[in-house]
Structure 1
Amino acid sequence: MTGPATSTPHVPESNPVRDLPLQHLPGFTHRWVDADGVRLHAVEGGRPSGPAVVLLAGFPQTWWAWRKVMPGLTHRFHVIAIDLPGQGHSERPERGYDTHAVAAHVHAAVKALGVSTYTLVAHDIGAWVAFSLALNFESHLRGVALLDAGIPGITLPESIPTDPDRAWKTWHFAFHIVPDLPETLLAGREREYVGWFLKVKALSPDTFDDAELDHYAAAVAADGGLHASLAYYQDAAESARKNREALERRHLTVPILGISSSHGSVPDMAGSISPWADNTTGIVVPDAGHFIPDEQPEAVAAAITDFIADDD
């Protein structure tokens, strides 16, 4: 299925995050493209002539979150996993992390890779970006699958619950938007912070091994990654405003698949999106927490395959 994480002896000149070791997946190639002024990292494989599937990960992960799902898609699809701006081996701009701005960069990256139409599959903050991308570039999409995410201005709650049984899932939204303080407290402690999310929000605390925790912590710590990770939350109000403004003009018509999990954050992704989309379906993946692609990769790969087949 997947090979071991290794560092490459030669880091391509186009890689803007040269101090972070690359993760390698057999059958896939690292690419960097200029996406309207921001250099983004993509990992590409599968069938070049097949339908394109673009994968986006969320906080606190990188494209590596899809490593167990990607091999299961290669026999039918052209598979592209993209690091968002500020994530993994993509450039970390100082500003511009509202999801409409980020969506434009992601779409530009897909175009730069020679793909004109594609299915978008996205988790967590990646799903924030995917929703905004659909609002702006719907004609280029065959479908959108959204995994366990509240969308700013749409389904993300305006207030953080104080009940401890629920607050542990969303408390960090308020913390991350405080200016300067999170970076002051978290700098040098990225391993402990990232580890909390990956261990507590997965159904099994053993889902992520030490090497994976090290990789994600290093990605957040490298070259402004912590600032970028927080910036998505700090720009969430602007993302929400732009989402609501776009939805005043029209609803989404592209097919939407909501993928929830038995122990995730959003019990019914499809139901939460359906007031703003005309064509939604949903599934619930059993025996999984928030990090569904890591916890149940075969189920996610099967759901993506079935979703695209239904569209055909």
Structure 2
Amino acid sequence: MIGPATSALRSAETRPVRDLPLHDLPGFTHRWADAGGVRLHAVEGGPHTGPAVVLLAGFPQTWWAWRKVMPALADRFHVIAVDLPGQGHSERPEGSYDTHTIAAHVHGAVKALGVPTYWLVAHDVGAWVAFSLALDFGNHLHGVALLDAGIPGITLPEAVPLDPEKAWKTWHFAFHLVPDLPEALLAGRETEYVGWFLRAKALSPDTFDDTEIGHYAAAVAADGGLRAALAYYRYAAESARRNHEALSRQQLNVPVLGISGSHGSIPDMAASLSPWAGDVTGVVVPDAGHFIPDEQPAAVAAAVADFIAGSR
């Protein structure tokens, strides 16, 4: 259930996105951290003495995508869900949204929260950022789990398929690249657009109710959120270029877990990631589409906990 905001940390001066309602999760606290001139929002809980697990969500969601996973992890881990720049209650900066630039902001925010080393778990666009973060800041990571994501230059197909049975999963990559047209068509219709993604890409269309869809749509609509969401796609080619530039020097040097949904977008994340890392394992979560943390949160929490236990 979405509830009112109650944390003392949430002054209007602290919050970059002041007109967006702030939602609570019992046992967790809202935080903000400055990183490279960008203020990011994080939600933190669990024992600070436990291993730190940082969670990143993707399009068209916010940290709230992890709300069902976070309590299951917080009994033994220090859990921090971070809104990416432009997402949720984080600042929507101008400038580059290539994933290496964004990764530096995310890592800086985690460090500012007093967490020098951590496990990283990320979905969709969050996984784009996590892959680049692992390349640039791998010495600060214990491991990274990546959930159902077409990562630019890595697991993303080179071309959008034209087969109707496949095209509906990736058509938006090309649409989001078109200058100005998405903004003209989507402004004021964020609920319809966000609702299509959440209902079409989940295995069950009942996974998300109208309240959840409204929550995510409001975040996209607020204070430059749509511009920022599109920017991740518009900088995807630069993200891919910088990924391969980094990979020309070294592979990922941390343990990697690829988590796929049985009915998701990338059938085998582990196989797609294996050319780029030396230590890759995989899990396929049954009865799940693209939005695995919402659809099968217990399975995701268990996979993450097992990954951490097996890699320590």
The TM-score, its normalising length taken from structure 2, stands at 0.98
Partner of 1:195: 195
Partner of 1:71: 71
1:30 aligns with 2:30: yes
Amino acid at match of 2:284: V
Partner of 2:292: 292
Partner of 2:304: 304
CA–CA distance in structure 1, aligned partners of residues 37 and 96 of structure 2: 12
Partner of 2:103: 103
Partner of 2:283: 283
Q: How many pairs were matched up?
A: 309
Instruction: Summarize deviations over 1:166-220 as a string: whole Å, max 9, x none.
Output: 0000000000011111001100000000000000000000001111000000000
CA–CA distance in structure 1, aligned partners of residues 36 and 253 of structure 2: 26
Partner of 2:125: 125
- Counterpart contact for 1:6–1:21, Cα < 8 Å: no
Q: Classify the secondary structure of the residue corresponding to 1:281.
A: strand
Unaligned runs of 5+ in 2: none
Partner of 2:170: 170
- What is the Cα deviation at residue 285 of structure 1? 0.1
Superposition pairs of residues 189-228 of structure 1, within 5 angstroms: 189-228=189-228
Partner of 1:21: 21
Partner of 1:232: 232
Coordinate RMSD, CA, aligned: 0.9
Unaligned runs of 5+ in 1: none
- Counterpart contact for 1:95–1:231, Cα < 8 Å: no
CA–CA distance in structure 2, aligned partners of residues 70 and 241 of structure 1: 33
Instruction: Summarize deviations over 1:260-312 as a string: whole Å, max 9, x none.
Output: 01100001001000001000000000000000000000000000100000012
CA–CA distance in structure 1, aligned partners of residues 81 and 142 of structure 2: 17
CA–CA distance in structure 2, aligned partners of residues 124 and 156 of structure 1: 11
Instruction: Summarize deviations over 1:135-182 as a string: whole Å, max 9, x none.
Output: 000000000000000110112112101110000000000000111110
Superposition pairs of residues 149-188 of structure 1, within 5 angstroms: 149-188=149-188
Amino acid at match of 1:287: D
- Counterpart contact for 1:47–1:74, Cα < 8 Å: yes
Aligned sequence identity (%): 77
Select which of 5, 8, 18 maps to 1:8: 5
- What is the Cα deviation at residue 7 of structure 1? 3.1
- What is the Cα deviation at residue 95 of structure 1? 2.0
Instruction: Summarize deviations over 1:27-79 as a string: whole Å, max 9, x none.
Output: 00000010111000000000111000000000000000000000000111000
CA–CA distance in structure 1, aligned partners of residues 201 and 100 of structure 2: 27
Task: Single out whichever of 5-14 and 139-148 deviates more from structure 2.
Answer: 5-14
Amino acid at match of 1:281: T
CA–CA distance in structure 1, aligned partners of residues 174 and 259 of structure 2: 25
Q: Classify the secondary structure of the residue corresponding to 1:223.
A: coil
Task: Single out whichever of 151-160 and 130-139 deviates more from structure 2.
Answer: 151-160
Moved over 4 A (4+): none
Partner of 2:274: 274
CA–CA distance in structure 2, aligned partners of residues 70 and 8 of structure 1: 18
Amino acid at match of 1:6: G
